[in-house]
Amino acid sequence: MKYTRHDPMTAKWPWSRSLAVTGKGRTVQVKRILFGAVEDRCHGLGIRPGSILTCEGQDDDDITLTLPGGERHRLPRHYAWFVSVDPIS
């Protein structure tokens, strides 16, 4: 029998609404950021709950995002998994 650890913080996380799976050209609004380290990294880039982001592209390691002011940032994909978003377009 395979053992799987139950993590109550991520058990109900909306993985299908993660910033990590946002398609190129899509605009989203940040709903929630899980974990302090991810929140600190996002805040350093100007990304907070309520922020509007446009996904400009992705590769295996990073997601390129544009904020409403035109600033472009690269967010590591391993952080983006823990940013919950709602689609705008």
Q: Answer yes or no: pTM beyond 0.95.
A: no
Domains of the chain: residue spans and CATH = 34-87 (2.30.30)
Predicted confidence (pLDDT) per residue in 54-65, tens digit: 999 998 899 999
Handedness of CA 76, 81, 37, 85 (dihedral sign): positive
Query: For residue 85, what is the enclosing H or E element?
Result: strand 83-87
Q: What's residue 3's pLDDT?
A: 41
Query: For residue 32, what is the enclosing H or E element?
Result: strand 27-33
Share of residues in the chain with pLDDT > 70 (%): 83
Predicted confidence (pLDDT) per residue in 6-40, tens digit: 555 555 656 778 999 999 999 999 999 999 999 99
For residue 1, pLDDT over 50 is answered with no
End-to-end Cα separation, the chain, in angstroms = 43
| Residue range 68-87: mean pLDDT, rounded | 94
